[in-house]
């Protein structure tokens, strides 16, 4: 897609995105066609917000990674992570998530499977695979196996949890007006 220069004297550059580009969040979608018809200011706004959020996200550390670090160490880690993300963006090594995000029922089902795997590991005296160096693949395979073997039961539990969450959300909405 090539952005057409504006007619109000602004200097512009051409940008390209795949013709089938689309991103959806909170039920709202922007496509390549939408981008093509946007003003240079609107595109700049999207790029600036996306860039700022990506750089900010790069320095979001877990409690474990922050534990025992001084403020100076944390700032150095954050600066390093931000610089690496910046370089990855410039090199084209980052991009939109491929495929689609999990549906709400899939998310609830994964939560149930995670809890069952955690209980199994605890009963066996073993650490949760994802908490072991190099264990992410083992964790993913274990979750997949649990979902395959206990899928119907997990779906029923996930649906019940989803209904309860919707009911709680409705109660809060009623209270807040």
143-158: pLDDT as tens digits: 999 999 999 999 999 9
Q: Are 22 and 32 in contact (CB under 8 A)?
A: yes
Pairwise CA distance, residues 92 & 17, whole Å: 12
- In the predicted model, is pLDDT for residue 61 greater than 80? yes
Q: Which positions ≥6 away from 162 have C-beta within 8 Å?
A: 104, 105, 108
Pairwise CA distance, residues 115 & 103, whole Å: 19
The predicted-structure confidence for 9-57, as pLDDT tens digits, reads as follows: 677 778 888 888 888 877 788 888 888 888 888 888 998 999 999 999 9
This prediction's pTM: 0.48
Q: Are 82 and 55 in contact (CB under 8 A)?
A: yes
Pairwise CA distance, residues 17 & 31, whole Å: 10
- In the predicted model, is pLDDT for residue 166 greater than 80? yes
Q: Which of 89, 6, 1, 2 is nearest to 41 (CA)?
A: 6
Q: How many CB atoms lie within 10 A of CB 69?
A: 13
Q: Are 112 and 157 in contact (CB under 8 A)?
A: yes
Q: Which positions ≥6 away from 84 have C-beta within 8 Å?
A: 58
Pairwise CA distance, residues 106 & 91, whole Å: 34
Pairwise CA distance, residues 78 & 69, whole Å: 12
pLDDT value of position 117 = 94
The predicted-structure confidence for 65-123, as pLDDT tens digits, reads as follows: 888 999 999 999 999 999 998 888 888 777 655 555 677 888 889 999 999 999 999 99
């Amino acid at each position: 897609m090539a952005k057409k220069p504006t007619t109000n004297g602004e200097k512009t550059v051409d940008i390209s995105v795949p013709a089938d580009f689309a991103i959806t969040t909170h039920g709202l979608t922007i496509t390549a066609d939408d981008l093509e018809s946007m003003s240079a200011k609107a595109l700049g706004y999207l790029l600036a917000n996306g860039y700022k959020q990506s750089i900010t996200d790069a320095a979001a550390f877990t409690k474990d990674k922050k534990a025992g670090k001084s403020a100076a160490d944390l700032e150095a880690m954050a600066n390093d992570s931000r610089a690496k993300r910046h370089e990855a963006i410039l090199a084209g090594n980052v991009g939109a998530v491929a495929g689609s995000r999990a549906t709400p029922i899939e998310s609830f089902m994964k939560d149930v499977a995670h809890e069952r795997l955690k209980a199994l590991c605890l009963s066996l005296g073993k650490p949760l695979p994802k908490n072991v160096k190099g264990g992410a693949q083992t964790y993913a395979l274990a979750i997949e196996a649990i979902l395959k073997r206990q899928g119907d039961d997990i779906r029923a539990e996930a649906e019940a949890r989803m209904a309860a969450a919707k009911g709680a959300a409705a109660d809060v909405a009623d209270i807040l007006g």
